Structure 1
Amino acid sequence: MTRVAAIDCGTNTIRLLVADARVSPGGAVRLVPLVRLNEIVRLGQGVDRTGRLDEAALERTLAVVADYAGRCRELGAQSVRFVATSATRDASNRAVFVEGVRELLGVEPEVVSGQEEARLSFAGSLLGADGEGAFPAADAGPGVAAGPDTGSDAGVAAGSAGARPDAGARPDAAVGMRRLVTDLGGGSTELVLGVDAPDAAYSMNTGSVRVTERYLADGVTPAAEAAARDHVRALLDRAGAVVDLGATRELVGLAGTITTVTAHALGLESFEPEAIDGARLDVGTALASCEAIVHSTAAERESWGYLRPGRRDVIAAGALVWSEVIARVVEDTAARGHRLAHTVTSLHDILDGIALSLVRPAGDPVVDAR
């Protein structure tokens, strides 16, 4: 057994997972979570406009890194991986942040590409959606044929060399059920298509914080909403040239925006992981909740017990992005004769993918540890 610690530092949140990883004689990995924490620090505040990490945002984030470092030591984590994504990728002064993390945590933080972010998200998602026992590997590993690393707004086509549909795999794997995993963050949105490993992935340079700052900072007016939707649709056009959205048989959503939409659609009073994880929403219900959130009032957002204060000001933009993804997939699948009927929400995401990467080489199967 190995105790691992995974840290995911995004545009809006920084999260920690400490888990015991148990490897079976057959090579399957099981994660037993000990601690899972989530702090909203808005590291990406203003990065879209200035191209730099804000000093106050750096201070907030490094304070949480110091706390996480202490928790990793207290729990005896044997292996630690720190992954930073969109905001840090785009910042000209990211070296300041990298050095601060290195000093506090004692490991080299990784500012990963959009492609790597997509692969880790897909790997983590296989632990959660539908809650079905054992899954083959999600990491494309050597099967990925990546082009130049261009950070966000970058696509990668992948072969299926990493997929090993052995005993205990998803029942739909045998018939090629292709899942489109969407990881909707503050600064980027990853779209990853595959069965047991990514066939193709694209990182769109948009998310809840970025859309808010560019288009909705003064509220959701008709003109601002139209401009934001045009922006997302243009990026989906680019994504569709790399990822065959019409091949989607199952649309899986990850991260805070999508869990919030799910909680709203389910009519929850508070954040209930058991109800949200694996929840299936028909597309009409999901789109209706997105619409309600996009046009919600401040008082309504404050009344939702499942919506944390640090997400209230960007949730309209996040719901807008998710609604456009759903609508595009519905359109493209309908054109193929198998119109998408529902979405699936997973609480297992890039954080779990980071933890898995610490204990298994590409190609090994994983087992749901919930």
Structure 2
Amino acid sequence: MTGPVAAIDCGTNSTRLLVAEGGTTLDRQMRITRLGRDTDATGALRPDAVDRTVEVLREYRSIMDRFGVERVRATATSAARDAANRDVFFDAAEDVLGVRPELLSGAREAELSFRGATADLDPDLGPFLVVDIGGGSTEFAFGTTEVLGSLSCDMGCVRLTEAYLHHDPPRPDELSQALSIVELHLQDVAREVPHAGDAATFVGLAGTVSAAAAVEIGLADYDRDRIHHFRLTRAAAEDVFRTLATEALADRIHNPGLERERADVIVGGMCVLVGVMRYFGFDECLVSEADILDGLAASITG
């Protein structure tokens, strides 16, 4: 069967759409919907968060109809995994989309992210450690042409911010605590994915990584071609982290390249990014704008 396909990722922090045909991207969309706001504390999705996300899905359905999309794969990840009332969201999403979102396990999420991120990379650059820093979880996948080891950790930009970064700007002790939690999770990664630190290329995915690259470049307007496969050095990542972590939110939002809607959780995400680079000793991060959406789209067409 031919024709355009669509992939939708309903994450903790953002809801995203990819429409593609024959390996060609027709449209990409991203909205900050914060589906997982307070889910870590309450164990449930907030009604307003569900409403926000479903409204975006309604917009995406219109976009898919415009392209004549008949095959859709929608997924939900960390926030839905943690929520006792996820079926309320799934029911509403199915009414709008015509398909029910799949609840992905962390392992499957890691595999799809790896597939999407490495599809356009030269295998000679491997083995890869692909790290997808989400809102509620971070997925690690190691391999060259296939995943040889993976782990999903319950840390992400929203989860760390809500749990530890309570002041504006975060206090040094809060940052230290968040970084310590990241390191504990990375110890799990090193144990479960023992060759993770041997990766020749560290590939970073998702909004935190893209924002760090955009801030480093000083990119006022999003430009996928400039961010995709940008090499963010550890020194640059540390500099961006120091800048954002010491600014109050009212100042942080003025950094070129940082979306206003992401500014309140970016420091939590940067704790993960710099934590990974410090723990495993990576000198640079290859920023990828190809991710789980691309993996999902590829899975539809085989």
TM-score (norm 1): 0.78
* 1:326 alignment partner in structure 2: 277
* 1:204 alignment partner in structure 2: 153
* 1:223 alignment partner in structure 2: 173
Q: How far 1:171 sits from its partner (Å)?
A: 5.3
**Matching of residue 313 in structure 1 with residue 264 in structure 2:** yes
Partners in 2 of 1:228 and 1:246 — Cα distance?
A: 21
Q: How far 1:286 sits from its partner (Å)?
A: 2.1
Q: Which of 157, 161, 172 is the equivalent residue of 2:124?
A: 172
* 2:5 alignment partner in structure 1: 4
Partners in 1 of 2:233 and 2:259 — Cα distance?
A: 25
Q: How far 1:271 sits from its partner (Å)?
A: 2.3
Partners in 1 of 2:79 and 2:296 — Cα distance?
A: 18
Q: Which of 126, 131, 136 is the equivalent residue of 1:187?
A: 136
**Matching of residue 351 in structure 1 with residue 302 in structure 2:** no
CA contact (8 A) 1:270 1:304 kept: no
2:208 alignment partner, SS class:
helix
Q: Which amino acid aligns with 1:277?
A: H
Moved over 6 A (4+): none
1:19 alignment partner, SS class:
strand
Structural RMSD (CA): 1.4
**Matching of residue 39 in structure 1 with residue 26 in structure 2:** no
More displaced, 102-111 or 49-58?
102-111
More displaced, 84-93 or 257-266?
257-266
Q: Extract unaligned runs of 5+ from structure 1.
A: 22-30, 133-169, 331-339, 361-370
Partners in 2 of 1:189 and 1:286 — Cα distance?
A: 18
> C-alpha deviations, 1:222-267, integer Å up to 9, x for none?
1211111111111111111111222111101011000111112223
> C-alpha deviations, 1:139-196, integer Å up to 9, x for none?
xxxxxxxxxxxxxxxxxxxxxxxxxxxxxxx2516xxx21100100100001111001
TM-score (norm 2): 0.95
1:352 alignment partner, SS class:
helix
Q: Which amino acid aligns with 2:271?
A: L
Structure number with bigger Rg = 1
CA contact (8 A) 1:291 1:319 kept: no
Partners in 1 of 2:71 and 2:234 — Cα distance?
A: 40
CA contact (8 A) 1:248 1:329 kept: no
**Matching of residue 72 in structure 1 with residue 21 in structure 2:** no
Q: Which amino acid aligns with 2:101?
A: P
Where do residues 46-125 of structure 1 align in structure 2 (5 Å cutoff)? 46-125=38-117
CA contact (8 A) 2:218 2:256 kept: no
Partners in 2 of 1:289 and 1:200 — Cα distance?
A: 30
1:42 alignment partner, SS class:
coil
1:269 alignment partner, SS class:
coil
1:44 alignment partner, SS class:
coil
2:4 alignment partner, SS class:
strand
Q: Which amino acid aligns with 2:286?
A: V
CA contact (8 A) 2:11 2:79 kept: yes
**Structure with greater helix percent:** 2
CA contact (8 A) 2:277 2:284 kept: no
Q: How far 1:103 sits from its partner (Å)?
A: 1.3
Q: Which amino acid aligns with 1:74?
A: R
Q: Which amino acid aligns with 2:292?
A: I
Q: How far 1:342 sits from its partner (Å)?
A: 1.9
CA contact (8 A) 2:123 2:144 kept: no
CA contact (8 A) 2:76 2:101 kept: yes
Change (3 A) 1:75 1:16: same
* 1:263 alignment partner in structure 2: 214
1:193 alignment partner, SS class:
strand
Partners in 1 of 2:94 and 2:80 — Cα distance?
A: 14
1:237 alignment partner, SS class:
helix
* 2:15 alignment partner in structure 1: 14
How much identity, in percent, do the aligned residues show? 38
> C-alpha deviations, 1:287-309, integer Å up to 9, x for none?
22222222233243221232222
CA contact (8 A) 2:215 2:258 kept: no
CA contact (8 A) 1:186 1:208 kept: yes
Partners in 2 of 1:224 and 1:344 — Cα distance?
A: 28
Partners in 1 of 2:43 and 2:75 — Cα distance?
A: 19
